[in-house]
Structure 1
């Protein structure tokens, strides 16, 4: 059976898994797919340019005619970039795209001027998702304006009104929440950047009579007052709640008020909040004494929490510490917890090892730790979290105990020792993200030894230190046990000391071998810096060399620039270090070559040769990126996650397509009745 002979229902299903570029190629390859593919190209529309928006809304333009002819196929519309859509333009878009299912408006692309005066939201009653960024709305309350729109969106399932920078603090009442659910009875997820009011005693009494919204699974409100009172309300209003975000404890609430509100919760049926699995909690300074009650309530109702996102502000030295929270609260969910995000902003030094308080977490697969001036014992963390797949650590220090280092350094060449090592010590960590940390090269080698299934590693704004061999001029970071798919280094400082002075201790040359030893991930490793003297570099037929310069602003802040050396420059470096003499190591590095703050140059790169180089050696490496730019704390890691997920999705797309064709071919060979193809397509669609 040929691909062009597939029935229409099967083609529709397959097309949903193809990328835009693949659809274009298939149009040229299979004429019978043309209609389905051309219609699918209109599924998702992204408008990110004001000129493009104006052209679509100009009824005399050719672009308007094209949208008028094909707009009925559009299911998802995204408005982003530097655009601002007025209400009369929004009306034209509504008329052109009558079957819209999802609307995404970022960067305040919907203007607040005249909002709701001309647009007819009844034309979009088919909407199931509405995501709007209202950060730039300054003069009107967005909740009040959208309350006039909600009655025309009866099929909405996901509602998100975001405000990253709140200028006007939107208000919402219990009556508003009831109206929202009356207008949109199918809502499953609500995200409103609003500040609910303080609940009075009368409000608390009436909560037991609220009309439940059983379809809601996830809510996000900026609850900052009457925290336990609102939790009491959510328990009755949303009996099937699974995700609860943005509960904030601050000093506006008194201990007496919260205590009286929590007593109300103790009177509730034990079945409430049984589906709750994800909580996001913020703790303002001076409020930590108010927080523990919520964890006691969760334990009282035996709520199986699987996801905790915890953010605390501690700008004064308080009696309750993050270590206490882990020990007294988080450890209660050690048997069920799968994801744990911990972030604390502090302005004082405690210098503790945060992992000392952690129990055994057998189900934990994702951890993010960002606690200022703390230390994470990596070996302890890996021992206590045996199922961990993703680890992100920001700030502080990453350490490994001496016993673990000794074990990692022991020979493992015999089959017996390798078997014992694999069974008891090899960890299944897949992704490691390190940011704003100081680590030694030996820790990276320990990670390679211990985490042999590691596939993705990212270092951002971090310092890596180690010893340079006097005989070879190299600082070899031997990660031979690791077979990476992705390696990213963003503004990483390589130095000979953790407390290095940038002008005297930095290493400016980095070497990444690309033609690597083909070794078993469990084989013995007996290669050291000295072996480079005997033609070690000659083994690598191809290497990538990078030159990095730094500009220091203060003790822990620097900027950098990275250049990839040309082929002749790389050959010059290899030739230089193949006959390296220890006497050539300079006692003091050169002055960083720049003519003005923030300006760097590559022309003097060869002056750094006497100072040695860093070689990062992996068992195998598919892709690597080295830059002098440091993305902000979240953006760099979001990009890293996106990059990996994009690669995985590409592979999944082709796998699913191949699977569909095999199944259809098999079914066609066994069936003599083509009418059964409709039934098969339906089964594949919902399988």
Structure 2
């Protein structure tokens, strides 16, 4: 039996306008999951979280008796001002809210830096002790820190775990004196080089001064001269940082020389490192062999990869593939990200051939490839071979293909039968894509994101009645026919989230009803999201312009649910479920001027009298083709800034409307501005 806490009192309300109200804290007996709704006296925002705490009885608590863990979790939802006020409410609240204030410091301005140093320099012992509470310290790129300020931070923040710092934060003199840098508790360092004030040696001095590091990231901005690391530099890093587990380097990788090959063959494995990421595109494929020998426990490898350097011929006489095979290299690799520069696929080829030779089975794969008329067969063969190796283990697949393959069945066919694949993202620019073939191959798929020239379903696919497990479908930057949605609803009845971005949807106008129909009667949507989706009814099935674009939408819930929808925020239109089995229809009108040839549209729900007018109009609808002269006038009207949502909407009636039908919708999101 779980525990229910109901605490509806305002604790400390007399002392602070930021007092907390806590309600509906429900503890389950498995995992002790807690739903926590928080409100402040200033705002009524509701937050939900999950806690771990055990108690088997149903009791009522005063807020002053709440456990430390719950108070700490509450603090994570509040601003620093709220936390400081809450820390003064009572003695029980002081420690958790004070610790939360100091746990993570984000230095945004030089003024905030001065205020922090003023506190650390205070003669009050309590303030000076706060430095030991700081675990994460982040400097923004615009903040300049003096030598004295940094010494003060170093002396007081002796329990610091994570530091994010920019080369521009500190003077070059400080980088030359590494004694200041040693922080005995530091385990995670993010070092961003945003100014040309450091050479490779200074960077090495910084990252090698904390032997306790487990997580190291070095990032270089595009305008900074790139630093080049060699095999010898990587050897030095692992010698000085023996417990490193995560390494991400945004530096160039140097040419592998003859002496480097000797280092590769004699390297001491860094057995703790499991994740390796390189942001640089420069390097050569011999690095792959080095990583295979250096990191026997590697589970994650990411490298854009460009074999643009002159190939080193010395390795041809060394059986590197045999050596890697004997060492069981990459045997623990589960996640790989690989890419190629345009028309240069040697790195791509070396990587996938290596996986094939070593019989590596991946769980997560992401790659990018540029192809032309000379490479389709080669690219297809590599994709097919990789999928064959991982068909029983692969869970997520992210593929980006630039230019096009001539056959729309190539990609879904070479994916193969992947019985465990649950998440696919395919960006096949300028290509046609057969959706039904992919669904037939990947029967366990839960989430699918597609970008393509055209996405279609083969005619014989509509007779397939086998249900698919797909739950989330995202369709972007493509053209589809309305019958695709009929197929989705019939085949994929578990879809609860449908995201449509930058779509052109075409359909044949029903001359009697004046509409094109999108029927998804089997789907109960948690979210139906449309962003820059244009509906057209071209008589020839091809021409998409202003005289075929439809701006009226009728959204019908055929089987509305009784559950309450989420609170609408931003441009989310919450569709209130109707407690009835009768269909519920809402009418909407899209309006707005053209912006860079794209409709900067907004959506309004029609009033009851407008709905009656529209329904009467379509009961006696007669289609009249638009002349070229009318089309020019229509384009000028609909593309003008003055295009109104209240007076001009009737001008869109002759173009018909889009009849969208589904079982139910919890949230309808239309042209959310976050995507602009």
TM-score range, shorter chain: 0.7 to 0.9
Q: Which residue number corresponds to residue 466 of structure 1?
A: 507
1:166 Cα offset (Å): 5.5
Relative to the length of structure 2, the TM-score reads: 0.75
| Contact 1:304 1:336 (C-alpha < 8 Å) held by counterparts | yes
Larger mean CA deviation between 541-550 and 295-304 belongs to 541-550
Which residue of 2 is the match for residue 140 of structure 1? 198
Q: Quote the residue 1:528 is aligned against.
A: none
Residue 545 of structure 1 is aligned with which of 570, 580, 588?
Answer: 588
Taking the aligned partners of 1:316 and 1:426, their CA distance within structure 2 comes to 38
Cα RMSD (Å): 4.0
User: Match for residue 643 of structure 1?
Assistant: none
- CA distance in structure 1 between the partners assigned to 2:434 and 2:494 by the alignment: 20
Q: Which residue of 2 aligns with 1:77?
A: 137
CA distance in 1, matches of 2:643, 2:146: 48
Structure with the higher helix share, 1 or 2: 1
- How much does 1:324 deviate? 2.8
- Which residue of structure 2 aligns with residue 193 of structure 1? 250
- Please give the alpha-carbon distance, in whole angstroms, between the structure 1 residues aligned to 2:535 and 2:198: 51
Deviation at 1:616, TM superposition (A): 3.0
Q: Deviation at 1:243?
A: 1.0
Cα offset, 1:381, TM superposition: 0.9
Aligned partners of 1:335, 1:44: CA distance in 2, in Å?
A: 42
Tell whether 2:168 aligns with 1:116. Answer: no
Preserved CA contact (<8 Å) 1:459 1:489: yes
Out of 177, 181, 186, the residue aligned to residue 127 of structure 1 is 186
Match of 1:266 in 2: 322
Confirm or deny that 1:441 pairs with 2:498: no
Q: Could you tell me how far 1:68 is from its partner in structure 2?
A: 5.1
Tell me the CA shift for residue 69 of structure 1: 6.1
Alignment of 1:558-577 (within 5 A): 558-565=597-604, 568=607, 571-577=609-615
Q: CA deviation at 1:343?
A: 0.9
Q: 1:224 to 1:44 in 2, by over 3 A?
A: closer
Distance 1:60 1:362, change over 3 A: closer
The SS at the match of 1:204 is: helix
Q: Give me the TM-score of the superposition, normalised by structure 1.
A: 0.74
Question: Does structure 1 retain, via aligned residues, the 8 Å contact 2:256–2:312?
Answer: no
> Quick one: distance in 2 between partners of 1:34 and 1:95?
25
Distance 1:613 1:255, change over 3 A: farther
Relative to structure 1, the CA distance from residue 37 to residue 629 in structure 2 (aligned partners, 3 Å threshold; closer, same or farther) is closer
- Give the alignment partner of residue 429 of structure 1, picking from 470, 492, 499: 470
CA–CA distance in 2 between the matches of 1:206 and 1:118?
Answer: 30
Q: Which residue of 2 aligns with 1:487?
A: 528
Kindly state the Cα deviation for residue 494 of structure 1 after the two structures are TM-superposed.
1.6
Kindly tell me: are residues 162 and 605 of structure 1, through their superposed partners in 2, closer, same or farther at Cα, counting changes over 3 Å?
A: farther
For 2:591 and 2:126, locate their aligned partners in 1 and report how far apart those are by CA, in whole Å.
51
Corresponding position: 1:252 with 2:291:
no
- Contact between 1:79 and 1:109, CA under 8 Å: does it hold in 2? no
In structure 2, relative to structure 1, the CA distance for the partners of 1:583 and 1:597 (3 Å cut) is closer
Q: CA deviation at 1:199?
A: 0.9
- 2-side partners of 1:489 and 1:47: how far apart? 38
- After TM superposition, list the pairs within 5 Å mapping 1:111-510 onto structure 2: 116=175, 121-122=180-181, 124-134=183-193, 136-141=194-199, 143-163=200-220, 165=222, 167-222=224-279, 227-246=284-303, 248-254=305-311, 263-268=319-324, 269-288=326-345, 291-314=348-371, 317-318=374-375, 320-346=377-403, 350=406, 352-353=408-409, 354-407=411-464, 421=465, 425-497=466-538, 499-510=542-553
Residue number in structure 1 paired with 2:53: none
What is the SS of the residue equivalent to 1:462?
strand
In structure 1, how many angstroms separate the alpha carbons of the residues matched to 2:593 and 2:391? Answer: 43
Are the counterparts in 2 of residues 100 and 124 from structure 1 also a CA contact under 8 Å? Answer: yes
Say which structure is richer in strand: 2
- Distance (Å, rounded) in 2 between the aligned partners of 1:178 and 1:490: 49
Using the TM superposition, give the Cα deviation of residue 198 of structure 1 relative to its aligned residue in structure 2, in angstroms.
1.0
- Number of residue pairs matched? 588
Distance 1:236 1:430, change over 3 A: same
Deviation at 1:445, TM superposition (A): 2.5
Q: What runs of 5+ residues in structure 2 fail to find an aligned partner?
A: 1-56, 563-579
Aligned partner of residue 329 in structure 1, secondary structure: helix
Q: How far apart, in 2, do the equivalents of 1:227 and 1:205 lie?
A: 16
Higher RCO (C-alpha under 8 Å, 6+ residues apart): 1
Aligned residue for 2:163? 103
Q: Does the 8 A contact of 1:56 with 1:67 survive in 2?
A: no
Match of 2:103 in 1: 43
1:436 counterpart SS class:
strand
| Cα deviation code 1:133-170 (max 9, x no counterpart) | 43x334534x5333222243222211112235353111
Contact 1:87 / 1:116 at 8 angstroms: preserved in 2?
no
Q: State how far apart, in whole Å, the 1-side matches of 2:622 and 2:288 are.
A: 68
Query: How has the CA–CA distance of structure 1 residues 428 and 131 changed in structure 2, closer, same or farther, with 3 Å as cutoff?
Result: farther
CA distance in structure 1 between the aligned counterparts of 2:498 and 2:210, rounded to whole angstroms: 44
Q: 1:84 to 1:316 in 2, by over 3 A?
A: farther
What is the alpha-carbon distance in structure 2 between the residues aligned to residue 598 and residue 84 of structure 1? 43
How far did residue 67 of structure 1 move? 7.2
C-alpha contact 2:555 2:587 (8 A) present in aligned 1: yes
Give the direction of change, closer, same or farther, for the CA distance of 1:174–1:119 in structure 2 (3 Å limit).
closer
Partner of 1:417: none
Question: 1: CA distance between counterparts of 2:481 and 2:357?
Answer: 44
How many Å separate the matches in 2 of 1:312 and 1:257? 28
User: Residues 109 and 143 of structure 2 are in contact (CA less than 8 Å); yes or no, is this contact kept in structure 1?
Assistant: no
